[in-house]
């Protein structure tokens, strides 16, 4: 049985829930079982926000996870809180323009992407989330880079073709970041 | 089959209601069910329906009474404290034998409590909400797909038995997204000869009323109503069994805790403990016969609930206390983990000898 559990975490407004939704939709389009579960409530209004996404070959039991295979941390409180809950051999992706410290665990793979800085440099405002996701896609192989547009079209209106293009550009930037 | 889409539980309920022919929604915002109202506010005008944000939960349920009396499909939704406010209206719906769909996306209580998920309105749903002798059908979905299916079916049941159907879910179920197929087929049309549609001077006026000052008449009404409830108990019980064939420990869980419990059952079996689960889909009528049958075989039961222990009493009643029933509980918005459930399975396995 193959099941991958992702946790996206950061500030409200960083597009955390959207990033997770995009990945969940891609899982659906791959014909897999998926679930997407957000933290909800006051933390969405400017505090920390997170969402978990499960992509599985078989039906998903609990949508609530207490550990995860992949952590995407977009602020320090998120890394502090969720680093210990990452499974051994898991992957942690850090927005290194917002998080000064390194991952302390030595039994996980850590990736540092200055996503917020890159978004600012490349004129992709507010798309640090998709830049870091690009690197997640490269390192986990969760989806084929040729399929980037299809899930985006499901969650962004056709009328916002400009937004679809910008999001995909951001993912590609993160995908190719060395 | 239509293409699957990714939907939040709350939105899926709203869309399923529209598919079921509901064109009247009355509500008042409260976390964690607000997406139902938000979705209805967008969709209802597009399908020629009515979305109305009432001045309070009490106003909303009374609007439901009014529309239902005209024979139209109608719904309201809220979360725990809001359902308490609707209690009077729920009783009047029953007293007038009016069908309606009510949704409770539960949060922690009592009082204002919190906004995180809970199942502590079990008693309220199956027994308490509203005064007088009456029952309501209570459906407990455990996936977003089931939220669609049970909402659709809930309207049919409400019409068929002239009762309120209550969808009892929790904040997790309301907020999570899963793939759903919205292919529900045809809507069942129910003849509503009792509805207030205008006589056109061709028939005697219908009267929708819950006031019976003559006790003989009121008792007669109650007895007739309970004959109908009896039919619901005979015909409409729904439950799912998971690995019960050779189970020695039987978990009983509904909604999101059934999902968590399924994981625990799998882990227990890997460890050599024969666990299984009965998941009530209808909380009323409760799957008493299935539990009684399980009691003949299993060593012990574990009731898994996001409450201080409410459904456990119905489990004990159903099995006439023939076997030990343990409680696995988190409350106040906290969520049970598979490890919590596993620990209880192991404890039950030891007690059961």
Question: What is the full per-residue pLDDT of chain B (353 aa) written as tens digits?
Answer: 578 999 999 999 999 999 999 999 999 999 999 999 999 999 999 999 999 999 999 999 999 999 999 999 999 999 999 999 999 999 999 999 999 999 999 999 999 999 999 999 999 999 999 999 999 999 999 999 999 999 999 999 999 999 999 999 999 999 999 999 999 888 988 999 999 999 999 999 999 999 999 999 999 999 999 999 999 999 999 999 999 999 999 999 999 999 999 999 999 999 999 999 999 999 999 999 999 999 999 999 999 999 999 999 999 999 999 999 999 999 999 999 999 999 999 999 998 65
- Cβ contacts (< 8 Å) between B31 and chain A: which residues? 40-41
Q: How far A120 CA lies from chain B's nearest CA (Å)? A: 31
Q: Which domain holds residue A49?
A: 3-175
Across the interface, which of A24, A64, A66 has its CB nearest the CB of B177?
A24
The confidence score (pLDDT) of residue B277 equals: 98
Chain A residues 35-54 with CB within 8 Å of chain B: 35-38, 40-41
Same domain, B226 and B254: no
The CATH number of residue B187's host domain is: 3.40.50.970
The interaxial angle of helices B311-318 and B288-295, nearest 10 deg, is: 60
Q: Does the pLDDT of residue A74 top 70, yes or no?
A: yes
Shortest CA distance to B71 belongs to which of B209, B192, B199, B189?
A: B192
The CATH number of residue A42's host domain is: 3.40.920.10
* More reliable by pLDDT, A133 or B1: A133
Residue at token pair 């209880």 = B344
The confidence score (pLDDT) of residue A159 equals: 86
Same domain, B138 and B164: yes
The confidence score (pLDDT) of residue A157 equals: 85
Same domain, B119 and B197: yes
C-alpha B6/C-alpha A21 separation (Å) is: 9
Same domain, B107 and B175: yes
Same domain, B215 and B260: no
The confidence score (pLDDT) of residue A91 equals: 98
Strand ordering across the sheet containing B5-8: A109-113, A86-95, A68-73, A3-11, A48-56, A33-38, B177-180, B5-8
Q: Are B17 and B167 in contact (CB under 8 A)?
A: no
Same domain, B273 and B347: yes
Same domain, B214 and B286: no
* Rg of chain B in Å (alpha carbons): 21
B340-345 long-range contacts (CB < 8 A, ≥24 apart) are B341/B251, B341/B260, B341/B261, B341/B263, B341/B264, B341/B302, B341/B304, B342/B264, B342/B267, B342/B268, B344/B302, B344/B304, B345/B249, B345/B251, B345/B264, B345/B265, B345/B268, B345/B273, B345/B275, B345/B302
The confidence score (pLDDT) of residue A97 equals: 97
Same domain, B39 and B165: yes
Q: Which domain holds residue B199?
A: 5-235
Q: Are B153 and B167 in contact (CB under 8 A)?
A: no
Which residue from B minimizes the CA distance to A55?
Answer: B178
Across the interface, which of B6, B179, B262 has its CB nearest the CB of A61?
B262
Which candidate in A23, A36, A52 is best for mutational testing of the B interface (most B CBs within 10 A)? A36
Same domain, B128 and B14: yes
Across the interface, which of B5, B31, B172 has its CB nearest the CB of A37?
B172
Shortest CA distance to B282 belongs to which of B294, B273, B291, B270?
A: B291
**pLDDT 10s digits, A21-62:** 999 999 999 999 999 999 876 555 556 789 999 999 999 999
Residue at token pair 């029953």 = B94
Looking at the structure of chain A, the number of domains it has is 1
Q: What is the mean pLDDT of chain A?
A: 93
**pLDDT 10s digits, A142-160:** 999 999 999 999 999 888 8
Domain boundary pick from B235, B261, B292: B235
ipTM at complex level: 0.93
Which candidate in B29, B177, B242, B343 is best for mutational testing of the A interface (most A CBs within 10 A)? B177
The confidence score (pLDDT) of residue B114 equals: 93
Q: How far B178 CA lies from chain A's nearest CA (Å)? A: 5
Same domain, B312 and B185: no
- Cβ contacts (< 8 Å) between A47 and chain B: which residues? none
Q: How confident is residue A13, by pLDDT bands cut at 50, 70 and 90?
A: confident
Across the interface, which of B32, B178, B263 has its CB nearest the CB of A40?
B32
Shortest CA distance to B106 belongs to which of B307, B252, B261?
A: B307
User: Distances in Å between the alpha carbon of A100 and those of A94, A113, A114, B10, B169?
Assistant: 10, 12, 11, 39, 41
Q: How far A35 CA lies from chain B's nearest CA (Å)? A: 5
Same domain, B199 and B71: yes
A24 and B6 in contact by Cβ < 8 A? yes
Max Cα distance, chain A (Å): 46
Chain A residues 67-96 with CB within 8 Å of chain B: none
Distance between start and end Cα atoms, chain B: 49
Domain boundary pick from B235, B252, B287: B235
Looking at the structure of chain B, the number of domains it has is 2
Residue at token pair 């079921």 = B20
The CATH number of residue B276's host domain is: 3.40.50.920
Same domain, B219 and B255: no
C-alpha B203/C-alpha B351 separation (Å) is: 66
Q: What's the token pair of residue B228?
A: 């109908």
The confidence score (pLDDT) of residue A48 equals: 79
C-alpha B133/C-alpha B118 separation (Å) is: 27
The confidence score (pLDDT) of residue B3 equals: 86
- Cβ contacts (< 8 Å) between B32 and chain A: which residues? 40-41
């Amino acid at each position: 049985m193959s099941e991958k559990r992702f946790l996206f975490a950061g500030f409200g407004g960083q597009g955390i829930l959207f990033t997770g939704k995009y990945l969940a939709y891609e899982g659906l389009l791959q014909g897999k079982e998926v679930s997407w579960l957000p933290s909800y409530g006051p933390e969405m209004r400017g505090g920390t926000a997170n969402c978990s996404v499960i992509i599985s070959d078989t039906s998903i039991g609990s949508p609530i996870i207490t550990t995860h295979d992949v952590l995407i941390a977009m602020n320090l409180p998120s890394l502090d809180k969720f680093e210990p809950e990452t499974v051994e051999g898991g992957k942690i992706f850090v927005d290194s323009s917002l998080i000064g410290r390194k991952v302390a665990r030595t039994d996980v793979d850590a990736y540092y992407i200055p996503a917020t800085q890159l978004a600012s440099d490349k004129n992709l405002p507010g798309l640090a989330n998709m830049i870091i996701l690009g690197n997640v896609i490269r390192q986990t192989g969760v989806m084929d880079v040729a399929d980037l547009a299809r899930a985006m079209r499901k969650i962004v209106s056709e009328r916002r073709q400009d937004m679809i293009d910008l999001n995909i550009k951001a993912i590609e930037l993160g995908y190719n970041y060395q | 089959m239509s293409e699957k889409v990714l939907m939040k539980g709350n939105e899926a309920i709203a869309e399923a209601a529209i598919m079921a022919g509901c064109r009247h929604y009355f509500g008042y915002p409260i976390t964690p069910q607000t997406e139902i109202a938000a979705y209805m506010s967008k969709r209802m005008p597009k399908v020629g329906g009515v979305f109305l944000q009432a001045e309070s939960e009490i106003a909303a349920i009374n609007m439901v009474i009014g529309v239902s009396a005209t024979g139209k499909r109608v719904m309201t939704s809220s979360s725990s404290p809001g359902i308490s406010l609707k209690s009077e209206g729920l009783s009047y719906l029953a007293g007038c034998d009016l069908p309606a769909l009510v949704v409770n996306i539960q949060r922690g209580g009592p009082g204002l409590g919190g906004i995180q998920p809970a199942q502590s309105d079990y008693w309220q749903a199956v027994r308490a909400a509203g005064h007088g002798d009456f029952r309501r059908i209570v459906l407990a979905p455990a996936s977003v797909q089931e939220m669609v299916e049970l909402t659709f079916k809930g309207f049919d049941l409400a019409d068929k038995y002239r009762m309120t159907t209550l969808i009892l879910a929790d904040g997790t179920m309301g907020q999570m997204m899963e793939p759903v197929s919205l292919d529900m087929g045809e809507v069942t049309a129910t003849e509503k000869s009792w509805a207030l549609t205008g006589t056109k001077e061709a028939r005697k006026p219908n009267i929708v009323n819950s006031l019976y000052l003559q006790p003989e008449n009121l008792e007669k009404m109650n007895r007739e109503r309970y004959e109908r409830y009896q039919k619901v108990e005979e015909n409409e019980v729904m439950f799912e069994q998971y690995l019960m064939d050779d189970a020695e420990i039987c978990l009983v869980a509904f909604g999101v805790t059934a999902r968590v419990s399924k994981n625990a059952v799998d882990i227990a079996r890997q460890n050599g403990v024969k666990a299984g689960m009965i998941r009530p889909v209808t909380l009323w009528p409760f799957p008493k016969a299935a539990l009684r049958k399980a009691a003949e075989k299993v060593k012990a039961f574990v009731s898994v609930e996001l409450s201080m222990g409410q459904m456990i009493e119905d489990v004990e009643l159903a099995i006439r206390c023939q076997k030990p029933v343990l409680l696995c509980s988190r409350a106040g918005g906290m969520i049970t983990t598979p490890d919590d459930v596993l620990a209880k399975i192991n404890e039950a396995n030891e007690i059961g000898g």
